[in-house]
Structure 1
Amino acid sequence: MDSLPQHNLQPVKLYVYDLSKGLARRLSPIMLGKQLEGIWHTSVVLYEEEFYFGGAGISSCPPGGTLLGPPDSVVDLGSTEVTEDIFMDYLTSLGESSFRAESYNLFEHNCNTFSNEVAQFLTGRKIPSYITDLPSEVLSTPFGQALRPILDSIQIQPPGGNTFSGHNGQS
Structure 2
Amino acid sequence: MEKPQGPHPVRLYVYDLSRGLARRLSPVMLGKVRKPFLHTSIVVFEEEFFYGGGGITSCVPGGTMLGEPDTVVDLGNTEVTEEIFLEYLSSLGESGFSGVAYNLFDHNCNTFSNEVAQFLTGKKIPSYITELPSEVLSTPFGQVLRPILDSVQIQPPGGNNFNRHNGPS
State the distance in 2 between where 1:17 and 1:76 align: 15
Is 2:15–2:38's contact at 8 Å kept on the other side of the alignment?
Answer: yes
The C-alpha deviation readout for 1:53-107, integer Å capped at 9, x for no partner, is 0000000000000000000010000000000000000000000111011100000
Question: Structure 2-normalised TM-score?
Answer: 0.94
- For these two proteins, the number of residue pairs brought into alignment is 165
State the distance in 2 between where 1:80 and 1:68 align: 26
Aligned counterpart for 2:56 among listed residues 53, 58, 63: 58
Is 2:86–2:167's contact at 8 Å kept on the other side of the alignment?
Answer: no
The question of 1:104 aligning with 2:102 is answered yes
Aligned counterpart for 1:21 among listed residues 4, 19, 22: 19
Question: Structure 1-normalised TM-score?
Answer: 0.93
State the distance in 1 between where 2:29 and 2:128 align: 19
Aligned counterpart for 2:122 among listed residues 118, 121, 124: 124
- 2:81 counterpart residue number: 83
State the distance in 1 between where 2:51 and 2:131 align: 18
In the alignment, structure 1 segments of 5+ residues that lack a partner are 1-6
- Opposite residue 111 of structure 1, the aligned amino acid is C
**% identity of equivalent residues:** 74
- Opposite residue 93 of structure 2, the aligned amino acid is G
RMSD (Å), alpha carbons? 1.4
In the alignment, structure 2 segments of 5+ residues that lack a partner are none
State the distance in 2 between where 1:119 and 1:169 align: 18
The C-alpha deviation readout for 1:22-48, integer Å capped at 9, x for no partner, is 011101111222221352100000000
- 1:11 counterpart residue number: 9
